[in-house]
Amino acid sequence: MTRYVIGPDVALYLAEQEAVVAARHQLLAPTLLRSQVLSLLYVGVRRADISRKDAERRLDYLRGLRMRLLGDRALQQRAWKVADQFEWPDTYVAEYIALTQLQADAFITLDTQLARTVDGAVKVATIDDLLDRRRRSASVRATT
């Protein structure tokens, strides 16, 4: 089983696509993911970028996603060190990197700049590494 840490960008992408994560993978994220996703969807609805119904559907998808959310003392201490190492202004992203260092095989982000920045501190994977290709290709064939 491969363990991947995903951030809110990947979580929202998965929800938007209603993607099927391969059963052989385990998703991890800091507990702050819940609040970040909720906030991003709320802002999207306020800006009229997404309907409330679509936002609720994406939240339901994410609530049903098999994902371990973690936020213990060891994670917080490591996140502090990571933020300090990269001289980041806060620890939000650092929690994802710290969790990857502590408990995962790789980190997935859609942010190419972030991926370049943290490559070497953690292994960076792509979203394609996460998805169940058999079910994805079947759903693509069904829509064409």
Segment 42-86, tens digit of pLDDT: 999 999 999 999 999 999 999 999 999 999 999 999 999 999 999
In the prediction, which pLDDT does 74 show? 97
Domain that holds residue 53: 2-143
In the prediction, which pLDDT does 135 show? 52
Mean pLDDT to the nearest integer, 102-112:
98
Mean pLDDT to the nearest integer, 18-36:
96
In the prediction, which pLDDT does 143 show? 35
Average pLDDT, rounded, for the chain: 92
Q: Residue 138: pLDDT band by 50, 70, 90 thresholds? A: very low
- Give the sign of the dihedral formed by CA 67, CA 98, CA 12, CA 131: negative
Mean pLDDT to the nearest integer, 15-23:
94
Task: Tally the domains of the chain.
Answer: 1
Q: Which residues contact 61 (CB under 8 A, 6 or more apart)?
A: 14, 15, 18
In the prediction, which pLDDT does 132 show? 75
Quick: pLDDT tens for 77-87: 999 999 999 99
Long-range contacts for 137-144 (Cβ within 8 Å, ≥24 apart)?
Answer: 139/20
* Global pTM value: 0.90
* CATH code for the domain of 133: 3.40.50.1010
